[in-house]
């Protein structure tokens, strides 16, 4: 079956968002709905909460016809067939997957099975329904210990330091091979750096189950008094203050990047001839929509240290936050931030929000929802 064109109005376009109740997925749903798309969410709620979907409806004011939810696991071909049978899906934004780095080391089999087999199942069902437009939620972890900073899309991939990162890299390869075997596919791999922040309403945000793995949600728990102090792993790196430097990006900037990518896939913006995969990527069809495989980094292009983040969050919540310097963690690198020129030139996308705003929005979410969606 031929691929469905994205060269049409947003109102006539239905987007399947797998993992749409999760952190990045929920914010992307808000952006899609506010840009007029119809959204179908498939999420098994194993690491998310259906309350996020209720709050998306409050923020956007949409009805159930414009935002449809299926409690479904992408591993379940029967459930996914139902989603495609019942909705005129035009494109997929694929977030669904296990994502805790530490847990992936302890449970590699579960991570490989869920993330890779789930993606294979999703793509097989999509292909059977003639849907070959796909944006994949990848990660800067695929660069491993990068050969140069700032990291461009041409930076060679290295082995990720954990199974979670390996699944991202493997799925990128699967999707690339999918296009080589069938050139109707229109695929974009978005490599995120470190998403933080929350929607400005404070209604949706990051809600990890258990003790958070990532710096900002952990710092937020310290700020509301649920944890005693922030762990700072290593203060002897070759960086301005000795702590690790990373590229933090506001989740709403990231969400906007996905919607602009959909527009680009439909033929808008940029020239679409640059490629990082050795195949001609992003070639417009007769109707203006594209086919190929393309990669974009999404970050701010600015590095912030661990202490920068802790101090910015302290400013947001109005008090100094306690932290403790501890030994370096294995596998951590000193500095990691993006070059995002390609997204600017091709998609017309640039990050709008700085670290101050990211922390203010994170604090608003956490202070309004100290127990996440469970409150």
Catalytic annotation, residues? 164
Where residue 192 falls (left for φ over 0; alpha for ψ -120 to 50; beta otherwise) is beta
What is the spatial distance between Cα 156 and Cα 169, in angstroms, rounded to a whole number?
Answer: 12
Pairing of strands 38-43, 14-18: parallel
Residue corresponding to tokens 């409690």: 71
How far apart CA 250 and CA 362 sit, in angstroms, is 9
Say how many C-beta atoms besides its own lie within 10 A of residue 341's C-beta: 14
Query: What is the distance between the terminal CA atoms of the chain, rounded to a whole angstrom?
Result: 46
- Mark out the alpha helices in the chain (DSSP H runs): 23-34, 51-60, 77-86, 101-106, 108-111, 118-128, 163-181, 215-223, 251-265, 306-317, 341-347, 355-368
Residue 95 Cα distances to 138, 268, 335, angstroms: 9, 23, 26
Q: Are 58 and 132 in contact (CB under 8 A)?
A: no
CA torsion 81-82-84-87 (nearest 10°) is 180
Cβ–Cβ under 8 Å, residues 4 and 284: no
């Amino acid at each position: 079956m031929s691929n469905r064109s994205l060269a049409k109005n947003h109102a006539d376009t239905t987007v399947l968002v797998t993992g749409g109740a999760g952190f990045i997925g929920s914010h992307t749903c808000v952006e899609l709905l506010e840009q007029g798309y119809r959204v179908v969410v498939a999420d098994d709620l194993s690491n998310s909460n259906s309350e996020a979907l209720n709050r998306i409806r409050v923020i956007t004011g949409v009805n159930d016809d414009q935002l449809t939810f299926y409690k479904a696991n992408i591993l379940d071909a029967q459930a996914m067939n139902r989603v495609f049978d019942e909705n005129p899906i035009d494109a997929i934004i694929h977030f669904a997957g296990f994502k805790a780095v530490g847990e992936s080391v302890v449970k590699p089999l579960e991570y490989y099975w869920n993330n890779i087999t789930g993606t294979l199942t999703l793509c097989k069902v999509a292909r059977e329904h003639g849907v070959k437009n796909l944006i994949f939620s990848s990660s800067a972890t695929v660069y491993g210990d990068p050969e140069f900073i700032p990291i461009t899309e041409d930076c060679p991939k290295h082995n990720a330091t954990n199974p979670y990162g390996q699944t991202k890299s493997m799925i990128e390869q699967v999707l690339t091979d999918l296009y080589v075997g069938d050139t109707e596919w229109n695929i974009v791999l978005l490599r995120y750096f470190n998403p933080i922040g929350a929607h400005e309403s404070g209604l949706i945000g990051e809600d990890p189950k258990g003790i958070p793995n990532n710096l900002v949600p952990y710092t937020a728990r310290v700020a509301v008094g649920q944890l005693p102090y922030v762990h700072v792993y290593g203060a002897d790196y070759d960086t301005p203050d000795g702590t690790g430097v990373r590229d933090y990006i506001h989740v709403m900037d990231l969400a906007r990047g996905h919607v602009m990518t959909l527009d680009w896939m439909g033929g808008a913006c940029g020239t679409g001839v640059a490629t990082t995969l050795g195949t001609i990527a992003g070639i417009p069809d007769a109707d203006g929509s594209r086919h190929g495989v393309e990669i974009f980094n999404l970050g701010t292009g600015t590095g912030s240290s661990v202490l920068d983040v802790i101090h910015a969050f302290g400013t947001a919540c109005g008090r100094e936050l306690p932290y403790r310097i501890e030994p370096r963690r294995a596998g951590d690198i000193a500095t990691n931030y993006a070059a995002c020129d390609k997204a600017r030139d091709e998609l017309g996308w640039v990050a709008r929000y700085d670290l101050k705003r990211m922390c203010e929005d994170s604090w608003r979410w956490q202070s309004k929802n100290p127990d996440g969606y469970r409150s």
